[in-house]
Structure 1
Amino acid sequence: MPSGLVALFDDVAVIARAAAASADDIAAAAGRAGSKTAGVVIDDAAVTPSYVTGLSPARELPIIWAITKGSLFNKLVLLLPGAILLSEFLPGLIIFILMLGGAFLCYEGAEKVLEKLGAEKHGKTVEDEIADPAEFEKQRISGAIRTDLILSAEIMAIVLNELDLPTWWERGLALALVAVVVTVVVYGTVAIIVKLDDIGLALAESDNIAQRNFGEGLVAFVPKLLTALSLIGTVAMLWVGGGIIVHGTHEIGFDLLYDFAHGAEYAVKGATGALSGILGWATYAAISAVIGLVLGAIIAFVLHKVLKIGHGGETAGAH
């Protein structure tokens, strides 16, 4: 009996050492894979503040908390099990899921651009009059969580495509780690952004001249920040979505878009010296965004003009 216990403790010690080593591998892999999701994360952070626009300041943080919980449920309960099964049994499907999500991002970004250029708007917008604040709040939260599901699926697919871990449970832990970190970063940032104007108003009432001036400046700055975030979110949608399509088509054997985008990138790198890295990347990102805009506009045309989908209904994103 004692020898059995000793053997058991030895086995536990070996497992513990292996788990410690795996934890380092998982954290490193999660960090590398998570960095690939930057564009989608930027888009998520840029889009979300619009969901509390027009609502009572007292309801802003509760709404963001409700969306945060919905986002964690999306990632950890709805998407994580499917991602693990996919990586274990059908890894070849990951690239097609990525491309489907990329096409959705292209569509969302292009629709925003088209609406800014005067095209017909589809679904409710933040400019619409709020007749029933409680019902409107529910709609905003459910709409935000639906949009988050798409973006979260894209984040999880990107991370899964980048992970190089041997076992399903290591991939699962890395995915869970990225899911939690991304959610906390995105919605923590959003919470700060939407409360900046309240902070500014409080400082503007201070007796301290420096604090009062800073508060007034902050109040004036917040609308410009929200406008900039909206623009950044649209560009991020097109850049990330277009980039996924470029990479995905290359992976399945269609190299035209990939060769064109990377050919332009390398040409700019070769001609710009010290700034070659930045300008080369910017060239590739810009071409990806243009490809995303064209594809998204085609999808929007087919959905709204050919299939007549989206007239009078609520779209997945906020406009």
Structure 2
Amino acid sequence: MPSGLIALLDDVATIAKLAAASVDDVGLAATKASAKAAGVVIDDTAVTPRYVVGLAPERELPIIGKIAIGSLRNKLLVLLPAALLLTAFAPFLITPLLMLGGAYLAFEATEKIMEKLLHESHHEEELVDAMADPAELEKLQVKGAIRTDFILSAEIMAIALASLGPMSLWTTAFALFVVSLGITAGVYGVVALIVKLDDIGLHMAERRNAGARAFGNGLVHVVPKLLAALSVIGTAAMLWVGGGIILHGLEELHLLEIVPHTIHHWSEVAGHAVGPIGPIVEWLAYALGSAVAGIVVGGIIVAIVRRFTKHPEDLVVDL
């Protein structure tokens, strides 16, 4: 009896160790996957604040909450099952799908640049039409944000899936679940902070303390510039991430390998030429090369889309 109890305890201890190891594996895998998707996360964080600009301050956080819920729903109810199906039945499709997503990001960024250069703004026209009805404006903004988030979330999940490596189906599912929760909470937590910075500044500007007032007034003046800068950063990130995904896919599929290999080579040369800060310069050079690749691919898609449709966004399917 005692020996049986000891054996049972040994078994329980073994199971506990295996479970702990599994949790550690999931944590490490989720961290690695999140790091690989960092570029798209930056893009997501930079893009989202524009969807609450112009809305009543008291509605900003509720709207961000709606977008976050929609984002989590996208990830857990649509993208996670799709990722697991790909893992189980068609892992060879992961890289091509990643490249399609990268091409879409490049297209979106290039289209934004074209609109700026040609002084077009179809999105703003829609907002003006909806201004008379605050509820309709809010609905339009949330819908647009969730639609954009779906594309970015798909890229995040696909990058995460590709970076996990060989794991059991359940461990993969749990790791992607952790990635979904962590990235959604991180992105929309930062977005909530960004859009409320001006309110924080106004509150501090009313304090009696001179230092607090100065800091608050500084925030009030800086936030509009920050939001404008985030728009530029978001566009740049879309080009960098989209182009990088396409270059990596070309290497994986052994197609036009001279393009990614040339950019890698130029990046290494630039890094070696500057000494101690070489790794930073090499990374920046590769990011720039990726952005150029994104502009080329995005420009081709924009030209095709503009050839066959009046407004490029007409091709976007509502999700």
The aligned amino acid for 1:162 is S
Code of the aligned partner of 1:278: I
The letter for the 2-side match of 1:112 is K
Measured against aligned partners, the alpha-carbon deviations of 1:251-298 in whole angstroms (never above 9, x if no partner) come to 111202211110111111222211211111111100110110121122
Partner of 2:107: 107
CA distance in 1, matches of 2:232, 2:12: 53
Residue in structure 1 matched with residue 179 of structure 2 by the alignment: 178
Query: Could you tell me how far apart the structure 2 residues matched to 1:53 and 1:194 are?
Result: 8
- 1:292 equivalent in structure 2: 294
The structural deviation recorded for 1:194 is 0.4
Change in 2 beyond 3 A, CA 1:191/1:314: farther
Q: 1:143 to 1:249 in 2, by over 3 A?
A: same
The residue type paired with residue 112 of structure 2 is K
Pairs aligned (count): 316
What is the CA distance between 1:19 and its match in structure 2?
Answer: 1.4
Q: What corresponds to 1:61 in structure 2?
A: 61
Aligned-pair RMSD on alpha carbons?
2.3
1:78 & 1:10 partners in 2: Cα distance? 41
Q: Which of 261, 271, 289 is the matching residue for 1:269?
A: 271
Aligned to 1:92: 92
1:190-229 matches, cutoff 5 A: 190-229=191-230
Taking a change above 3 Å as real, the CA distance of residues 11 and 82 of structure 1, as seen in their structure-2 partners, is farther
TM (norm. structure 1) is: 0.92
Distance 1:171 1:194 in 2: 34
Amino acid at match of 2:134: P
Structure 2 distance, partners of 1:108, 1:312, is: 9
Q: TM-score, normalised by structure 2?
A: 0.92
What secondary structure does 1:128 align onto? helix
Deviation at 1:15, TM superposition (A): 3.2
Correspondences of 1:103-182 after superposition (within 5 Å): 103-124=103-124, 128=128, 130-182=131-183
Moved more, 128-137 or 27-36: 128-137
Question: Structure 1 or 2: larger helix share?
Answer: 2
Q: Partners in 2 of 1:73 and 1:303 — Cα distance?
A: 30
Question: Structure 1: how far apart are the matches of 2:95 and 2:248?
Answer: 9
For structure 2, list consecutive stretches of 5 or more residues without a partner in the other structure.
Answer: none
Q: Aligned pair in 2 of structure 1 residues 274, 112: CA closer, same or farther (>3 Å)?
A: same
What's 1:282 paired with? 284
CA change 1:5–1:300 in 2 (3 A) is farther
CA distance in 1, matches of 2:57, 2:12: 53
How far 1:166 sits from its partner (Å)? 2.3
Encode CA deviations 1:138-176: one digit per residue, 9 max, x unaligned: 111111111111100100000100002420111111111
Comparing 22-31 with 121-130, which one deviates more in the overlay? 121-130
